[in-house]
Structure 1
Amino acid sequence: MKRFAGLSKLTLISLGVLAALGAVLTVFGPNLRRLFGASAASLASDEDEMAMRFSQDSRLQRKSLATFGDSEDSAPALEMAPAPRAAPPSPPRAAAVASRTQVVQAERVEPVTTGNTHAAERPNPFTLTTEDRFSTFAVDVDTASYALFRRYVSEGGMPPRESIRVEEWVNYFRYRYPSPEQGDFRVDLEGAPSPFTPGRHLVKVGLQGRTIAKSQRKPTHLVFLVDTSGSMASPDKLPLAQKAMKLMVDGLNESDTVALVTYAGSVRDVLPPTPASEREKLFLAIDSLTSGGGTAMGDGLELAYRHAAKKAGSKNVARVIVLTDGDTNLGRNLSADSMLESVQGFVKEGVTLSTIGLGMGNYRDDLMERLANKGNGNCFYIDSEREARRVFQERLAGTLEVIAQDVKVQVEFDPEAVRGYRLLGYENRAIADRDFRNDKVDAGEIGAGHTVTALYEVELSGEGSRVATVRVRAKKPGGVEAAEQSFPLEREQLHARLSQASANLRFAAAVAGTADILRGAPQAGDWSLATAESLAEGAVDGMSDRAEFLGLLRRVRERHATSVAGGIPD
């Protein structure tokens, strides 16, 4: 009894009750289970099935998650039917999936997890073409995910898995695609053996948007919406936002106008629409901003949109640019859905949105990305003055002016030539195959001079000369009906060796492979960061941003090797 001397009477009574319940279940358990018609094991199985179905049904437009290489007795997905409920895997299948998720420990890097409320998208599965030969997605030119990765690694850390979006890593970089000879963009197709998975190929789909000279840009009306709450006080937040705005003003035409709105505990109209030629007046207003108070993003967003809508139209660019650390804790509207609901009318009028993320700690990457997607715009993360210059000066036209909207890509793989495929990334840009030609369904936008790159991992069969047909559908800015173009990819267009492929494909493969490994994609379980590094080394092609990626990748590998050698957990 000495071991129970320190326990209270209430605790002892509770233990007694639990013991009594245990005895009752031991004696009467079988009868109780017969009475309710389920064993404990089957009940647990039912809960797993419900959880899996809930997860799989949460995205209404997602295809069935057919696992590449599984037994052929899987029920095929119906292309035009709503996403089916997939049954949970049987134990043999679960074991097979588990075996594919094993990785080479020397190359495994575990990213940290944070309190980010946006759950990571499940990586696209391998899909058999006999079950679904179509892959449909909206283009994405956001780059915030990669810039955030760079910030984490530069400070000795690793990004949260849920912040790693493969397409944003790939599309951060410049690719030397041929310029369109006519129309708004040109499609560049290429394929080569995969450097990661023997027996498979990588297929690259690249879009190059037409460029626009500064003198040819439409008159632009910008509304800067600046978070001046207390959380923005650090040097990498409000002071960096002020530098970024000045850089953007310097790149505008004299006929462009700028308005300035701030939000903290309340919303403030700092500056009405002012010509960009009045540079000193604009800079004084920007320099006057100070931080303090709570955050009421939703209220500020509504006011900024009202300002922008005054000059919205097919002949003008009307854009709201939000600069914030993404932490919103006050105001009537607290979620991306509720905030955008109040301004959807302005979005339909043609007002676009750019979200600029700043700082660390309470940064809401999930909120910034969702706002940009819903606002027909783009999402960036600014970690330095150099990145601000890149976004607001070097790529200003693409940041501001949309040349094609609701851009959708559909790749139809020929079942005679391709046994299965997987799209790397674009999980949260997936579109139902049946909605490819539904012009009421929202999709992504392409800015002037932007490139969009997507990679597929495919397994070829021994037959069929045409590998795939790539279709691109897009509207003119402000348009209602979309135009469609079609581009064939023949087997003879695939390179026999990876070394014959362009630096574009090899570098994109290195970036996508790294992102897939770091986010823990099961299909990348046996992939190696060493392979990605070797690919990147041979594909820098004299570009500084590619060289920087190579340096970051080396730091990730060195950091992990050091932690393994010293017994320090990642």
Structure 2
Amino acid sequence: MERHGTQRRRCGRRIGGALTALAAAGGLLLTGCSGTGDGSDASKAERGFPAPRQTAGDQDLRDDTSRDPDDTSRNPDDTERAPDLLSTFALDVDTASYGYTRRVLAEGRTPDPAQVRPEEFVNSFRQEYARPDGNGFTVTVDGARTGEEDWSLVRVGLATRLPERESERPPAALTFVVDVSGSMSEPGRLDLAKESLDVMTDRLRDDDSVALVTFSDEAETVLPMTRLGGHRGAVHDAVGSLEVLGSTNLGAGVETGYATAVEGLREGATNRVVLVSDALANTGDTDADTILEKIGASRREHGITLFGVGVGSDYGDELMERLADRGDGHTVYVSDAQDAREVFCEQLPRHVDLTARDAKAQVAFDPATVKEFRLVGYDNRAVADGDFRDDRVDGGEVGPGHTVTALYAVRTAPGASGHLATATVRWLDPRTRTPHERSGQLDAAALHSSVGAAAPRFQVTAAAAYFADALRASGDTRLPGAPSLARLTEDTEELADRTEDPAVEDLADAVRQADRLL
């Protein structure tokens, strides 16, 4: 979920440069193209890419219909090379890892490298990709040379349409599952959650519905699904009654939350469970797979997605992330009133709708120009290359107003020219489950001569990736062109001045704090 630092507006009640030294040497930005083409991809398929062939049911997608669908013949050499030059992953718009890292650094602590997920750093910043008119995605592919041998950074950017006006979106049926265990007594946990829920209750529409479940040693439905029109007072009373109790039986909370959501299910509405917790489970089921197995039928049959809101200076980041990933949702981290206002007052009401289900991306690098590549992050979102067009395989759920960014380190052949990569995104319509695809391409000649010569938002993407890389990697695993933290501090400070983006200012502060600690 991208941050909108320049849109931190007040809602309801008040809740109390450039990276020039990273690189050395061309080009232009290539934006994505839609899936209705001239057959150029068919010729590329003969060289071992792009994505595996579509199925007969994908009638709206580009295909070379002159070729027998059962004909899998291919140049044997390309067949061997193609899997090594394909990268496939489920889309992810989580940002909790970056938010929690900022909190840890601000408190003078060093983050656990295992909790640093680079894709969540990269996706925490506003992008300027073109937007589609309807559901689905646009695809933007660009890149820049790093000055380290033949290595470049290649960015794949996916964007959904902007949110509709409040009056035009479908109604929402939100089941809030709130942790009231003893650990939530710390300032900035339950108190912040209660204040945030109060503000959001005033922000939602009359035809939206809210239910409230709490959990400590056990789980309890405090408020069944309730239409807000004429009943906001009942919701405020339920929120005001929340008090800190005992242990953290997160499994019981999630199970009861889904049962409450199913009982109050609304056809034609966006049905979502919103889990607010520090995710420090210590009672009952504490394994994400076990918890989700119990509510699997509700999740699959009714399309109920899970949105995780993490809080607290000690935070069960891994458990929350796994719950959200397996629950077809995503996570954010809230550390203060400003974050809470953005999440509950701005993001959640505007993004209760979905524009794409089971979205996956596949990037096919051209064996004629690319020697090797490495995807930055997405370690636990990998999908088998052959499953790209298998719609039974789980992908990511994405709503309006989102961007998804994937960054690659790519080593090109010396003097490479011509086609470099094709990026394809596949998703299902959230209501009809009809599959769709869009693609974008990049040529070697379009690579910018250096990271510093690229657009400012590309530089922000690179800076976020380099920052995550510095926090969790060392030696040969470092990204090509990686600067020191001291130099990265200077670069991000300059980017903050150029972009006038508070989110980039926060990044510069976090890099500066990390430089002092590491």
Indicate the SS of the match to 1:295. Answer: coil
1:156 aligned to 2:108? yes
1:203 aligned to 2:157? no
1:100-155 C-alpha deviation (Å, 9 max, x unpaired): xxxxxxxxxxxxxxxxxxxxxxxxxxxx9677110111111011001101111111
Among candidates 493, 502, 510, match of residue 446 of structure 2: 493
1:390 aligned to 2:342? yes
Matches within 5 A, 1:45-194: 132-194=84-146
Aligned to 1:68: none
Deviation, structure 1 residue 520: 1.7
Among candidates 504, 514, 524, match of residue 478 of structure 2: 524
Q: RMSD of the TM alignment (CA)?
A: 2.1
Distance in 2 separating the partners of 1:176 and 1:428: 27
Aligned to 1:304: 257
Aligned to 1:27: none
Indicate the SS of the match to 2:246. Answer: coil
Distance in 1 separating the partners of 2:132 and 2:394: 24
Task: Give the number of equivalent residue pairs.
Answer: 432
Distance in 1 separating the partners of 2:450 and 2:96: 33
Aligned to 1:409: 361
Indicate the SS of the match to 1:282. Answer: helix
Indicate the SS of the match to 1:190. Answer: strand
1:54-79 C-alpha deviation (Å, 9 max, x unpaired): xxxxxxxxxxxxxxxxxxxxxxxxx9
Aligned to 2:43: none
1:256-282 C-alpha deviation (Å, 9 max, x unpaired): 011111111222221122223433321
**1:556 partner amino acid:** A
Aligned to 1:241: 193
Aligned to 1:551: 509
Indicate the SS of the match to 1:512. Answer: helix
**1:228 partner amino acid:** V
Deviation, structure 1 residue 542: 1.2
Moved more, 284-293 or 244-253: 244-253
CA contact (8 A) 2:427 2:437 kept: yes
Matches within 5 A, 1:436-447: 436-447=388-399
**1:174 partner amino acid:** R
Distance in 2 separating the partners of 1:139 and 1:531: 31
**1:220 partner amino acid:** A
CA contact (8 A) 1:506 1:535 kept: no
Deviation, structure 1 residue 478: 4.3
Aligned to 1:381: 333
Distance in 1 separating the partners of 2:179 and 2:318: 17
Aligned to 2:420: 467
Structure 1 pair 254–420 and aligned structure 2 pair: CA distance change class (3 A): same
Distance in 2 separating the partners of 1:511 and 1:483: 31
Among candidates 487, 493, 505, match of residue 537 of structure 1: 493
Distance in 1 separating the partners of 2:160 and 2:349: 11
Query: What TM-score results when the alignment is normalised by the length of structure 2?
Result: 0.79
Among candidates 484, 496, 509, match of residue 437 of structure 2: 484
Sequence identity percentage? 38
**2:120 partner amino acid:** E
Structure 1 pair 360–345 and aligned structure 2 pair: CA distance change class (3 A): same
Distance in 1 separating the partners of 2:215 and 2:236: 18
Indicate the SS of the match to 1:345. Answer: helix
Runs of 4 or more, structure 1, over 6 Å off, are 128-131
Aligned to 1:120: none
Aligned to 1:73: none
Indicate the SS of the match to 2:310. Answer: strand
Indicate the SS of the match to 1:409. Answer: strand
Which residues of structure 2 form unaligned runs of 5+?
A: 1-50, 53-79
CA contact (8 A) 1:224 1:320 kept: yes
CA contact (8 A) 2:139 2:438 kept: no
1:420-445 C-alpha deviation (Å, 9 max, x unpaired): 11111111111110111111000111
Deviation, structure 1 residue 198: 4.6
Aligned to 1:37: none
1:178-205 C-alpha deviation (Å, 9 max, x unpaired): 222454221121111126x453111111
1:289 aligned to 2:238? no
1:7-37 C-alpha deviation (Å, 9 max, x unpaired): xxxxxxxxxxxxxxxxxxxxxxxxxxxxxxx
Indicate the SS of the match to 1:539. Answer: helix
**2:275 partner amino acid:** V
Structure 1 pair 525–439 and aligned structure 2 pair: CA distance change class (3 A): closer
Aligned to 1:355: 308
CA contact (8 A) 1:142 1:380 kept: yes
Q: Which has the larger radius of gyration?
A: 1
Indicate the SS of the match to 1:289. Answer: coil
CA contact (8 A) 2:365 2:422 kept: yes
1:487-540 C-alpha deviation (Å, 9 max, x unpaired): 221223222333331111111000101101111254217832234334423433
CA contact (8 A) 1:397 1:449 kept: no
CA contact (8 A) 1:200 1:459 kept: yes
Deviation, structure 1 residue 305: 0.8
Moved more, 312-321 or 376-385: 312-321
Distance in 2 separating the partners of 1:427 and 1:129: 22
Distance in 2 separating the partners of 1:546 and 1:482: 36
Distance in 2 separating the partners of 1:314 and 1:455: 38
Query: What TM-score results when the alignment is normalised by the length of structure 1?
Result: 0.72
CA contact (8 A) 1:323 1:358 kept: yes
Deviation, structure 1 residue 285: 1.2
